[in-house]
Structure 1
């Protein structure tokens, strides 16, 4: 039997939790999914021995970071590189992002792994006096870099554009000009302000209906250069509404880490593909569910994926931008990295009570691949918070 743990509740009361035995998910020999395109937005592993300022000059453990991408590819998942899950703009600067993209592109080619890479404007400091031309130049620089590396572009939302745009027309102009210069169709990314408060009022409107109208106008006017759009609003009805309004050639990639099982399964009028941060943390379950969906085994699909939703909602609870802490904690518990440290010191963005509840939810969902190891690692984290065991 797996050793029990003392875990804290809010307020400091302790209780005993008995972890379950390991759950084995059937692994398919077929690594490619047939009915959905599936990307996991992947995290990065920090280098705790770099000896640099962990807030302003965090370094990446490149070997461990690349190993994790190989793990995702081995599950059949694509990698969405240098996205917000990798702490892009929240500890990961453009210089590090360039190295990350270059290294990951080489590794992807070696194993024929699917990959798409974020291009944005994060080397610009957002401020109201920026010119639209400066924003366009920043986008062009990053798009050119990604395409030169051989990657598909995920055109990320821009803090700089949100800071200086005067109206929706400024957004339409920037996207029209950038999309006119890329060689391959891109994936647009509409990231809600719950993920990044600096993106409030994106597309020139705080009202979501009006913002959606602008976004759809950009898509329809540049349809040939758009593969799809990732919507991260944590609102399934908004996503479905927009999905039904997209041109037939443009895919919807769900970024809804609250409602992904139903959105990916879809309805009589369509479905969403996946580009999700939570799939970093639940990769084996995601892969098994996608294989079940390929066989139209909806009962198995939901039996696997629905159990992961409470964990996902916990990891992505407010403040939503701190979800990266939970994703990295899952990787630590599951032995994918030897420590629970993050670039920018982001491991401190969630409480010990939050992490304890995460442990329980991951166990209940059958997502701790080696419960004995997870318990030993959980003990270390608990001890650092002053929680004594038996």
Structure 2
């Protein structure tokens, strides 16, 4: 069987899908790295909502996908940008997602860390931003999950310099009951975060970021770096205090960063590990044996797909992630919170399908092919 796919220029070409998926086996966690997948949410396709309405979530399908990730030994990073936080999922929806997912994690013995932000406000003084953070931190800690202190649009707008970041984050770290993960999300993921840590000069911003950590190293489990700059991440992780982990958020260069070098390595907290979950788990289990080459042999071929999904405008990578979840059979539809399924083009979807199929990511390749043909038909592409 073949399928006709449009290329970037609108011309149709013939592609022959594979017939068998990659053979992977669910299993427990890993010994050499701590690995989180930032998971997407499944919208309720029957909810009568508009793009401006509060998110309508299919809770059964959303939690089932998290159980899928846990079954492969991955931790779940919850209520992050992959879950459309700040792009369709408001704080009320994120709070419910945190409560439900944390309870599910406890029930199945899964690892979970949840995003703490300030999205219940759109602006305010640094003191008001701090109060918003405190509200969310309390909820995450009450749920029994680890906290991830996310970058705040409101703080980026309110801060007048590095001292405001030092004050707000210092206060939060003193309050935290357990070590947290600090998340530095670059403006390619969210343009409202330009100049975070008090400067658009990344060297100056890095110094402030490290100053926050150095003042409270016992309250920082690790840092997640999402700047899509491998060398900058390597340089930063070499400057971290002993015991503070670096979690890569670099969806362009993750294999080399996780593999590491003779001076260290990165753990992982990645959106691309949503569609790559089983394959990524297989790769890390190979790394557990000390086989770096085998790890790279499995994970390096996935980078082309990841760079495709995360191409500019990078913040719309969520559309490709949910598209692949639909093709893989993890949900029955391709509908997203806020109507974000319209954020990418048909040629983009076609290439994502081809790359994912080539990697063997679809448990049922025939189902994926049929669903891809359904989408193509909606766009007027006859087979």
Describe the superposition over 1:317-372 as per-residue Cα deviations: whole angstroms up to 9, x where unpaired: 00000000011011001000000000000000000000001011111222122110
1:275 aligns with 2:269: yes
1:8 offset after TM fit, Å? 0.7
Which of 70, 73, 78 lines up with 1:76 in the alignment? 73
Equivalent pair of 2:44/2:57 in contact (CA under 8 Å) = yes
The residue aligned with 2:92 is 95
Q: Secondary structure at the match of 2:177?
A: coil
Aligned-CA RMSD value:
1.0
Equivalent pair of 1:36/1:290 in contact (CA under 8 Å) = yes
1:135 aligns with 2:132: no
Which of 353, 364, 367 lines up with 1:370 in the alignment? 364
Q: Secondary structure at the match of 1:180?
A: helix
Equivalent pair of 2:55/2:90 in contact (CA under 8 Å) = no
Which of 234, 246, 254 lines up with 2:248 in the alignment? 254
1:385 offset after TM fit, Å? 1.2
Equivalent pair of 1:40/1:77 in contact (CA under 8 Å) = yes
Paired with 1:148 and 1:57, the residues of 2 have a C-alpha distance of 24
The residue aligned with 2:58 is 61
Which of 84, 109, 114 lines up with 2:111 in the alignment? 114
1:385 aligns with 2:383: no
Equivalent pair of 1:25/1:288 in contact (CA under 8 Å) = no
1:151 offset after TM fit, Å? 1.1
Which of 213, 237, 258 lines up with 1:219 in the alignment? 213
1:100-249 correspondence to structure 2 within 5 Å: 100-126=97-123, 130-249=124-243
The residue aligned with 1:16 is 14
Paired with 1:299 and 1:333, the residues of 2 have a C-alpha distance of 30
Equivalent pair of 1:55/1:343 in contact (CA under 8 Å) = no
Q: CA separation of 1:26/1:47 partners in 2, compared to 1, >3 Å: closer, same or farther?
A: closer
Describe the superposition over 1:221-260 as per-residue Cα deviations: whole angstroms up to 9, x where unpaired: 1111100000000000000000000001100000000100
Describe the superposition over 1:92-146 as per-residue Cα deviations: whole angstroms up to 9, x where unpaired: 00000111000001100011100000001011113xxx21110010000000111
Paired with 2:362 and 2:276, the residues of 1 have a C-alpha distance of 10
1:314 aligns with 2:312: no
1:21 offset after TM fit, Å? 2.1
Paired with 1:318 and 1:258, the residues of 2 have a C-alpha distance of 12
Paired with 1:125 and 1:307, the residues of 2 have a C-alpha distance of 40
With the length of structure 2 as denominator, give the TM-score of the two structures.
0.98
The residue aligned with 2:25 is 27
Q: Secondary structure at the match of 1:65?
A: helix
What is the number of residues matched between the two proteins? 383
Describe the superposition over 1:50-91 as per-residue Cα deviations: whole angstroms up to 9, x where unpaired: 112244233000000000000000011000000000000110
Equivalent pair of 2:55/2:93 in contact (CA under 8 Å) = no
Q: Secondary structure at the match of 1:79?
A: strand
1:44 offset after TM fit, Å? 0.2
Paired with 1:11 and 1:330, the residues of 2 have a C-alpha distance of 22
- The gaps in structure 2 that reach 5 residues or longer are none
Paired with 2:185 and 2:317, the residues of 1 have a C-alpha distance of 14
With the length of structure 1 as denominator, give the TM-score of the two structures.
0.97
Paired with 2:9 and 2:233, the residues of 1 have a C-alpha distance of 38
1:164 offset after TM fit, Å? 0.8
Equivalent pair of 2:54/2:89 in contact (CA under 8 Å) = no
Describe the superposition over 1:34-59 as per-residue Cα deviations: whole angstroms up to 9, x where unpaired: 10000000000000101122442330
Equivalent pair of 1:335/1:373 in contact (CA under 8 Å) = yes
* 4+ runs deviating over 3 angstroms: none
1:150 offset after TM fit, Å? 0.9
Q: Secondary structure at the match of 1:210?
A: helix
- The gaps in structure 1 that reach 5 residues or longer are none
